[in-house]
Structure 1
């Protein structure tokens, strides 16, 4: 996989960073997390009775991220439905172990193809898309799950020179969706029910605020603020996609879904208190199985999904989003900026490769 570029010094002086991180983590983040936790305690995850659903024996699902945490249960349910699942993963070896665990549960249906994908590299995204489209399994795409993500990580610039959470959580998925979209449209034209695109977002999107002066970089770095913003970008992306699908009259729907407060290994990046509290929170918070049901609910519940394209879901219900997500000028500007960033990265990459070849 491609190496990433890191910086020893996050943007902004240490006092500015501490103040900004304190505000977004201790104030905004705590409030958002508490509200979300209360919701999860009193509002249960939707129930999906997989065994009663019609099999998807000829359908193909693409998912970013390996079979661990929420991804483990999502893949398990897709295989139970007899999907062919293509996974874009950082570690083939670790993912093979996860698939073996699923098979050891007695699930023999479905097929899995593992391909390498580093979301910190737009070149890796392009290579993954090329492999998918060239494969026999990728001759159709019924479902795209943009599920992989990182949270509250130390400051890092990717090899494409973008802040890592912005690229991993949003921009790489934006590019991947665009690269696979022609195949998804071809598939949608051949079937009566819609194809679907799901962005696994977060309730944290409500704490985000898009600032186009520091969208892909940071003037003063706050890991929590960048996470909030990346999740808001995912919601805006879904709404923009749905508008385009409606305009073009194509049989595709897009959704943003918050899986709930799930104490997975992602919590390790939230600090010592979060790591210590994980065993307790596992008894209170939603399980990964419930989270997988929540992510897949609009996909596997046609009476909901076909009426609610472009919406943001929590616990199987459409919920209000950050007000910025509904502003057409924000949607348009983010789309255009994202196209520019991915195209510029492609041009820069080609130039760098040419320079290397000339040496």
Structure 2
């Protein structure tokens, strides 16, 4: 495990020399089962509260037809047009954005775009580049392709939307636990690689439209605990813990980004959004929890949010003029600023995560 204290700029490291490189989950079987059961119980409690909120507080609405077109603006998003991503892309195209998508399967993603076009959406443009968030090298290649492309000559919006949930234990080629890398670390690297172009765009805009960096987070971040002694792996592995931790890290990253933008007086807003409890493809690979998928889907069909409502919730802060000056550095639920877990607001935690993430991605800024 890497220590999270030095400010020195590190050199790329050989992943095979990093402690905790075993292909087997950390911790004995019984401790893993106990930890998983405890987290599952806690998550059910958090989700129940969230679902009750859904009943009384409706998802925000966006009247796309009434909004000003963004014909000159460019959005970069991780993940293809499926689940919430499908409805996000649809709304961005309706607003006439140029949308650059980082996807693993271009042909499948193109079919998703074709379905959107079949609904009568003729505005906007889409560009695909290959992106595998389980590879930091792929993230760098994707970022370079975006920056070298005609479409990427400006970036007004970065949507860190792709993610995985409870897929089971896997180490990536970079030797990180896969959920931590896909949901957080690769997005941290991507954001920093694209940040110079985002800053250029914000400078060109002047006091006009701000640029935005949006991370799709989760209310389950409240089940995560930051421990810098086992950040990128676990002493006792739990896929649920890794998911919750990755979502907590996203919110901490957003808060640190916004502090830097304020210090530099950049017209950029960074924030995290919980889209609500929604049945999407994210639940398709639930590891040892697949037995819960069918009853969960049946219940959520009646009381959960749709992917369209989830997309509205994610885009609401950046498309609502009254929120633009308040969006930076905040965590949103149901269109409202909500206080996240206390860990996210601790300056020492924010600093340590930032410095540690730079080390893990070999310090690119």
How does 1:29-178 map onto structure 2 within 5 Å? Answer: 29-178=43-192
How does 1:248-287 map onto structure 2 within 5 Å? Answer: 248-268=264-284, 269=286, 270-287=289-306
- Corresponding residue SS for 2:122: coil
Q: CA deviation at 1:41?
A: 1.9
Partners of 1:277 and 1:325 lie apart in 2 by 29
Identify the range of structure 1 (35-44 vs 314-323) with the bigger mean alpha-carbon deviation.
Answer: 35-44
Q: TM-score scaled by structure 1? A: 0.93
Partners of 1:38 and 1:214 lie apart in 2 by 34
Give the equivalent residue in structure 1 for 2:232.
Answer: 216
Select 1:19's aligned residue among 28, 31, 34: 34
* Cα offsets for 1:149-176 (capped at 9, x unmatched): 0011200011000011110000000000
Q: TM-score scaled by structure 2? A: 0.91
How does 1:330-345 map onto structure 2 within 5 Å? Answer: 330-343=349-362
Give the equivalent residue in structure 2 for 1:357.
Answer: none
Is residue 170–residue 231 contact of structure 1 (8 Å, CA) maintained in 2?
yes
The runs of 4+ residues in structure 1 deviating greater than 6 Å are none
Structure 1: 5+ residue stretches without partners: 347-359
* Cα RMSD for the two superposed structures: 1.5
Partners of 1:159 and 1:41 lie apart in 2 by 43
Q: CA deviation at 1:303?
A: 1.4
Q: CA deviation at 1:43?
A: 1.0
Is residue 82–residue 281 contact of structure 2 (8 Å, CA) maintained in 1?
no
Q: CA deviation at 1:7?
A: 6.1
* Cα offsets for 1:276-317 (capped at 9, x unmatched): 431341221001000000000111112102223100000000
- Corresponding residue SS for 2:263: helix
Select 1:323's aligned residue among 323, 334, 342: 342
- Corresponding residue SS for 1:82: coil
Change over 3 Å in CA distance of 1:50–1:137 after alignment to 2: same
Aligned length: 341
* Cα offsets for 1:57-94 (capped at 9, x unmatched): 00000000000000000000000000000000111111
Q: Name the one with the larger helix percent.
A: 1
Is residue 17–residue 220 contact of structure 1 (8 Å, CA) maintained in 2?
yes
